[in-house]
Amino acid sequence: MRRSLIPLCAVMIVGLGFFLSSCEARSESAPGWSLKDLSSKTVKLSDFKGKIVVLNFWATWCPPCVAEIPDFIDFEKKYQDKNVVVIGLSLDAIQPSAVAAFAKKNGMNYPIVMATSEVAEAYGADNGIPLTLFVAPDGTVAAKMLGIASPAYLEKNVQKLMRAGATK
């Protein structure tokens, strides 16, 4: 029985290595999008050109997504005046009004848009959520994290971009 676990462990280690490498910065351009916010206003990624943009793919039915919301609320408060914006991209199949009620109940203080399956696929969110990406002011993806984005992860990546002269 022990011998049969060795190949399984090897596959898991290789898989973990692949997962961790997928979280590294890539310098790829962030795919553009034009989506509706919770009040049906059109919001585009290009609206935030020149800012550090933190994209968080999430859903109301996703427990890890809900667990990280307080950290995004605190992060938004801390960086709202520092050329940094958090945008929640909801993958919910429910009405935007239901997502808006959820956002209000949970005190979400950052913009939320209703993502499409095409946008989710373009960013890799079709492979799982929560998914958080840091988009540099030049439009490149600077960091990508599948799973709960801890406050330390958020802080590390925004500070790295700020030190690089990304914000004024």
Catalytic, 65? Answer yes
Which of 9, 23, 62, 65 does the annotation list as catalytic?
A: 65
Taking Cα atoms as reference points, which of 149, 168, 138, 137 lies closest to residue 57? 149
Contact 56, 69 (CB under 8 A): no
Strands 52-58 and 84-90: parallel
Whole-angstrom distance, CA of residue 155 vs CA of residue 163: 12
List the catalytic residues: 65
